[in-house]
Chain A
Amino acid sequence: MNWHEYVNATGKVPEWPYPVRYEKENIVTSDVLIIGGGVAGCRAAISARQRGARVVVADRGFTKRSGSGGAGVDHWHGAVRNPCSKVTPRMYSEAAMATTDGYTNGLVRYIVGKEGWDTLLETEQMGVQIRDETDEFKGSMFRDEETKLLFAYDLENKHCLRIYGANIKPCVDREMRRVGCDVYERICVTSLLTEGGKKGARVIGATGVHDRTGEFYIFKAKSVIVSTGKTQRLWCFAPELRESQSMYNLDQSGMGHTIGWRAGAEFVLMEMTGPVELTGTGYAPYSTGNNNNTYQGVSVVDKNGKVVKYADAYGNLIDTEEGIFKPSQEGSFFIGWGIALDHERMPAHRINLTDPNLWEKVRAGEYEQPFYTDMTSLSKTSRDIIWRLMLAHEGKCRVPIYEQFTAWGFDPKKHLLQFPVGDYSLWSIDCAWANPQSGPANWRAGNGGYLIDWRLRTTLPGLFVAGDGPIASQGCHGESQTAGRYAGRQAAIFARDIDAIEPDPEQIAAEKARCYMPTKAKGDIGWKELNYAVARIMQDYCGEYKTEHTLDMGIRRMKDLLETEGKRMYVSNPHELARALESLSLCELGVAYMEGAKARKASNKVLGFYRYDYPEDTEEWHKLVAIKQTAADAVASRGLAVDYHLQAPYAPDLEDNYQRYSESDR
């Protein structure tokens, strides 16, 4: 029942079910502290523990199902070293760099290429099925008969695997607990603790507030990993409208970014934003007709049953099912979809999509809406591998899609699934449910994150990152697991022979006072109202087009919001307190994004970054811009090469760096 039903039925308002102990201190000590227990954090915890570190994980939710990967996964990018793959880690990293003009993370892509397959094999040991064990797909073009691996997207190069990952998070979570990591759930981490309480100094712990009891946590550690999610609540906050239409839950407050920003870490690509795809105005993931991503390979037909063909990246229509899974260019390979790579720049690496002239053909009367996903015309194995494997295992698909659809009688042998009807001249139909145009252009999603070195260490000593949020443009599920596993190793090596430092009592006292202010203020601003206001500022002042003056205005508005309404918050219980602390942190994070935008004095098409006052996309600005907070109101920026990971002090070659840093001591 919901709250309203309970109140109507009993005439009583339920009391908060947990003991409320605001400000009660808990001190938790470890070698390695991991902030964020999603797939990256759990893998980091396991590998740090395996290196002998005492590991504590602080998670906002409950690690069995928390995080973006908590609801499953159907394919694994970057397993390029699987025995069937024709792609090498170098090819993978270089293709990622090429498709983004360098505005991605070449070193993480290389690490993912080197270790993605090993990470997946370990996942198999943890209980996740990654092969066609029952020979259900024997003889199919998607399968390798010897290894029983199943491939997605690119059957020539076989570097992306279909996996049965609906239970992947419970398996990884179970392993994390089995190896002896201590997990603290329902912790909203609020700050990093630094040596002497100073900005820019070594990170030696964190503070947090419990979502149920309101208790205060002081985590002390020799090294810390931030493995949190993206920053989804900044531009686009609409929980009442959003419903199931999101691949990101509300816990993605960007807190992992904010705490590092406040501690003085350097960030890159903060100016890189794009139209938000998953707003409250669209469709539940995978719930409509679709022919891309997890549905890749289905047939599409129009109202009259006329088939819409796929086309390669050069617009050539494809006539065979095999052709859909073949790269556009001889000798090339598909790189992933949905892992922050701009395929338009490098068509040779683009997945095959719908006929690009479809909408002209609709206007000319050749096709009529609606369109439908047609799995009836596929062979049994092709249909089953999409519907019963991919759609039953992809994130947020097992229950909301597979179980719901089948409970209501959907049968892909008989039924066609309808695409949304609309003005498709605005968007491609390929991933119709994600439909970028469903949100206004000034509702953005941020891509930036921590500047990192070959050890996945930030510019703050002792602070490492993992996961697709804090690592700028890093990737998705498989990459997060792989980078997490690597970061855990590095953080354990760092912690192994360094002494712990006691945190500064003044830093803790100041943070504690900040955290509990909403429980004391006689406020009139709820956490949602503050979050809506943050989003308004971001939409108005940090939308698609920017100027120095309006960015300055936005920063001023955000600081004003923090100092005015932010001091007048009310909370009813610890859950609301944690949400309020997230909303307050968004004010600081919004400033960080606007500072990032200010620091780039040129427009840049690849970054989706447009300035009225600097409209030119110049070669001089073809670089990364790193920003950091040096004092409460001071920001420093500097430029660095997009391939900084191959420049001094690093070696000029990917593999040399990997050999030098992947296992070595500090």
Chain B
Amino acid sequence: MGVYSIPNQSGPCRVLAFDAETCIGCNRCVNVCPSDVMIPNPEKGKEPIVLYAEECWFCGGCVQECPIRAITLVTPAKQRLSTVWIDKKTGAEYRIGMKDPLPPNTTPPADNR
């Protein structure tokens, strides 16, 4: 792989993470985005390209639109660090992006849809 002359990335470098294995490149996420931050990948069937990361406002519309849930919203580092919780019993601290993650809490939201 070559070394290229590339401008600095701005702000949060990665706002979305795509699961390249499962993404089918349908581009529904590209089209639902209110701010049009992505473009389709020139190679058909591949994950889209986040072109304007700093225009993303983290609404999560793309995540919800994805038919196979192949997109994860990536919380920016400064907000991973400011989202901290503790275990009431042990006092242990946790955060989004922690090194040794807790198992997910699988309780669903309260709704009937």
Contacts and interface: CB of A to CB of B under 8 A. Distances in A.
Do these two chains really belong together in a complex?
Answer: yes
Interface string B17-59: 0101000000000011111100111100001011111111111
A212 B11 CA distance: 24
Contact of A62 (B32, B76, B97): B32
Contact of B14 (A2, A166, A400): A2
A87 B73 CA distance: 41
Chain A interface, DSSP helix/strand/loop, else mixed: loop
Contacts of B106: 406
Interface string B83-100: 111111100001111100
A524 interface: no
Contacts of B40: 17
B22 to A, nearest CB: 14
Interface size class of A (residues with CB under 8 A): 35 or more
Interface residues of B, number: 72
Contacts of B11: 239-243
Contacts of A136: 110
A211 interface: yes
Interface string A1-41: 11110111101101111000000000000000000000000
Contacts of A389: 109-111
Nearest to B43: A10
Chain B interface, DSSP helix/strand/loop, else mixed: loop
Contact of B87 (A12, A399, A400, A415): A415
* Most A-side CB within 10 Å, residue of B6, B41, B82: B82
A65 B59 contact: yes
A248 B55 CA distance: 11
Contact of B89 (A396, A414, A575): A414
A134 B89 CA distance: 33
Contacts of B88: 374, 376, 414-416
A216 interface: no
Contacts of B110: 136, 164, 384-385, 388-389, 392
B83 A288 contact: yes
A239 B12 CA distance: 10
B61 interface: yes
Contacts of A167: 113
A360 to B, nearest CB: 26
Interface of B: 1-2, 4, 6, 9-15, 18, 20, 31-36, 39-42, 47, 49-61, 63-65, 72-73, 75-76, 78-79, 82-89, 94-98, 101-113
Interface of A: 1-4, 6-9, 11-12, 14-17, 60-62, 64-67, 70-71, 127, 129, 133-134, 136, 164, 166-167, 186, 211-212, 239-246, 248-251, 283-284, 287-288, 372, 374, 376, 384-385, 388-389, 392-393, 396, 398-400, 402-411, 414-418, 420, 575
30 contacts: A2-B50, A6-B41, A7-B6, A14-B42, A17-B40, A62-B32, A64-B61, A66-B34, A164-B110, A164-B111, A166-B109, A240-B10, A243-B78, A243-B79, A244-B58, A244-B79, A249-B35, A250-B35, A251-B35, A287-B79, A287-B82, A376-B88, A389-B110, A399-B58, A403-B60, A403-B73, A409-B94, A410-B102, A414-B89, A415-B87
Given A61-B34, A164-B111, A410-B85, 15 more contacts: A1-B49, A3-B49, A17-B42, A62-B31, A65-B65, A239-B55, A244-B57, A244-B58, A248-B57, A288-B82, A376-B88, A389-B110, A392-B110, A403-B73, A408-B102
